[in-house]
């Protein structure tokens, strides 16, 4: 066994969640090591959709523009039944520059994140798995035992560990973390392949029938991700779907004639809908599929994991550097309500849209067009898809933060007129008008915690924006004392 080594942060898992954590922490100057048990990255597409909120956050971190160049855009999600289009969720309504779903294979997302990580001087240590871990409770470092591909072992001591090691998380099991939830009843198939037919190339197409459901996600150049129910067990439990199987499932539900061919990969699966009750055990923090799994419908899961890590990383960096109190890390729990809502929503949607009950089918065919004819529902549905409506108003971190106009502490701050380009991604950023002199004076006493920008806030007040683009605090020109109280609760004055 190798001599014990020490490191500030060990990241276990090199999928999008773990890579984002390594990317963000190393960019913030925190030494990290990232390991993954797989000897090579997976070549399959798996998660496909990159949502608006993720693109907003990754663009200013050096990855989003490359993703946009490599991906394929879908501006709507259309529902079909009975040989006609029932209604369409108009994603272009989203209040974001990225008012679409970007279709990009997970393998490509991982490649782009890995390349940016390498530019930051960090390489994924592959073929390495965790064989033992403690939680680092009572303020002690986490002790981790690792084993390499050739049996070479080592132990290391980490101030913090990030568990991003997937739905079958070794760390979650080793620390006896509950993962409650359920397995949904239907059988599903998933595939990437070519489709020749009049399927719209810039929208998600969802076809509903009493005997099943088919969703088609465009990937460009006549390639699609196909997801379908297999209610009659056409595909055997011990085999992957063939093109012939997929063609049969397609023809049973979809009214648009088409030929399916050039299958890249396929799988048969059941949907698990689960999430942990707590996102940490001592100094081990959980994110991505190690913390939550749910239906792939809607393309939400990978985005949820990436946003987990952007939420955690700035807090961990500031605590590591002594700029914030350790209690700031407790506020990572603000992600739990977001996770619960999304897991519950995707489960409900999956049950409704995938039901083979003829009464349920008749109701959804009647209700969907009426509901989506309303602007309020269209706007809410688009914002939900893009993960723009998620926020932290109920978080302890938002208490006493106030607000300005319609914005309240914990809300997403819209990236209007290039506001995110003005963010200091390693600190809180103050935007204030010339009348907020007392507020600016308070902020100047918090060098290293608050960066001041010469840009006015709306409505004649000030905004203090977190590195993850959510509102930390806000108020009017005379609210300097409120800002001082809020900063003193969480941060360390230099």
pLDDT digits (tens, 9 = 90+) for 287-322: 999 999 998 877 889 999 999 999 999 999 999 999
The least confident of 29-43, 214-228, 362-376, 432-446 is 362-376
Is residue 70 within 8 A of residue 112, CB to CB? The reply is yes
Angle between helices 16-27 and 301-320 (to 10 degrees): 30
d(CA 27, CA 185): 43
pTM above 0.85, yes or no: yes
Q: Cα(373)–Cα(384) distance, rounded to whole angstroms?
A: 17
pLDDT in tens, 339-361: 999 998 888 777 777 766 777 77
C-alpha distances out from residue 131 to 154, 230, 365, Å: 10, 38, 51
Output the six-digit token pair for 176. Answer: 């006896």
User: Does pLDDT of 3 surpass 60?
Assistant: no
Average pLDDT of the chain is 92
> For residue 1, what pLDDT band results from cuts at 50, 70 and 90?
very low
Q: Name the range with the highest mean pLDDT among 6-15, 77-86, 297-306.
A: 6-15
The residue-averaged pLDDT of 52-73 equals 95
pLDDT of residue 401: 96
Contact in structure between 299 and 173 (CB atoms under 8 Å): no
């Amino acid at each position: 066994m190798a001599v014990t080594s020490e490191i500030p942060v060990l990241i276990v898992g090199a999928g999008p969640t773990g890579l984002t954590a390594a990317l963000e922490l190393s960019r913030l100057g925190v030494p990290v090591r990232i390991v993954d048990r797989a000897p090579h990255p997976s070549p399959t597409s798996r998660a496909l959709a990159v949502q608006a909120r993720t693109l907003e956050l990754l663009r200013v971190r050096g990855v989003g523009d490359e993703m946009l160049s490599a991906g394929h855009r879908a501006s709507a999600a259309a529902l079909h039944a009975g040989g006609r289009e029932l209604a369409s969720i108009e994603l272009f309504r989203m209040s974001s520059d990225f008012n679409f779903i970007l279709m990009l294979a997970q393998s490509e997302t991982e490649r782009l994140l890995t390349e940016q990580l390498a530019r930051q001087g960090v390489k994924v240590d592959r073929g390495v798995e965790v064989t033992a871990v403690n939680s680092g409770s009572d303020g002690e470092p986490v002790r981790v035992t690792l084993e390499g591909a050739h049996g070479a072992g080592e132990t290391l001591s980490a101030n913090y560990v990030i568990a991003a090691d997937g739905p079958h998380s070794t760390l979650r099991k080793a620390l006896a973390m509950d993962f409650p939830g359920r397995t949904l009843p239907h059988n599903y198939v998933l595939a990437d392949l070519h489709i020749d037919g009049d399927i719209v190339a810039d929208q998600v197409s969802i076809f509903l029938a009493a005997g099943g459901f088919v969703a088609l996600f465009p990937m460009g150049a006549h390639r699609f991700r196909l997801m379908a129910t297999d209610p009659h067990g056409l595909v055997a439990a011990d085999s992957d779907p063939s093109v012939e199987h997929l063609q049969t499932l397609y023809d049973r539900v979809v009214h648009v004639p088409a030929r399916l061919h050039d299958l890249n990969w396929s799988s048969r699966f059941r949907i698990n809908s689960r999430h942990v009750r707590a996102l940490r055990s001592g100094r081990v923090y959980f994110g991505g599929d190690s913390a939550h799994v749910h239906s792939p419908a809607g393309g939400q899961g990978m985005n949820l994991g990436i946003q987990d890590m952007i939420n955690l990383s700035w807090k961990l960096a500031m605590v590591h550097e002594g700029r914030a109190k350790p209690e700031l890390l407790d506020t990572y729990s603000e992600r739990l309500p977001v996770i619960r809502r999304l897991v519950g929503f995707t489960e409900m949607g999956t049950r409704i849209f995938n039901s083979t009950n003829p009464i349920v089918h008749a109701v959804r065919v009647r209700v969907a067009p009426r509901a989506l004819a309303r602007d309020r529902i269209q706007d809410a549905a688009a914002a939900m898809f893009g993960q723009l409506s998620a926020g932290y108003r109920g978080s302890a971190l938002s208490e006493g933060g106030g607000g300005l106009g319609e914005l309240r502490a914990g809300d997403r701050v819209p990236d209007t007129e290039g506001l995110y380009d003005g963010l200091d991604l390693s600190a809180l950023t103050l935007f204030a008008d010339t009348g907020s002199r007392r507020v600016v004076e308070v902020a100047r006493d918090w060098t290293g915690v608050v960066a001041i920008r010469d840009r006015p806030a709306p409505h004649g007040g000030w905004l203090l924006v977190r590195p993850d683009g959510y509102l930390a605090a806000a108020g009017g020109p005379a609210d300097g004392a409120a800002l001082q109280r809020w900063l003193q609760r969480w941060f360390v004055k230099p």
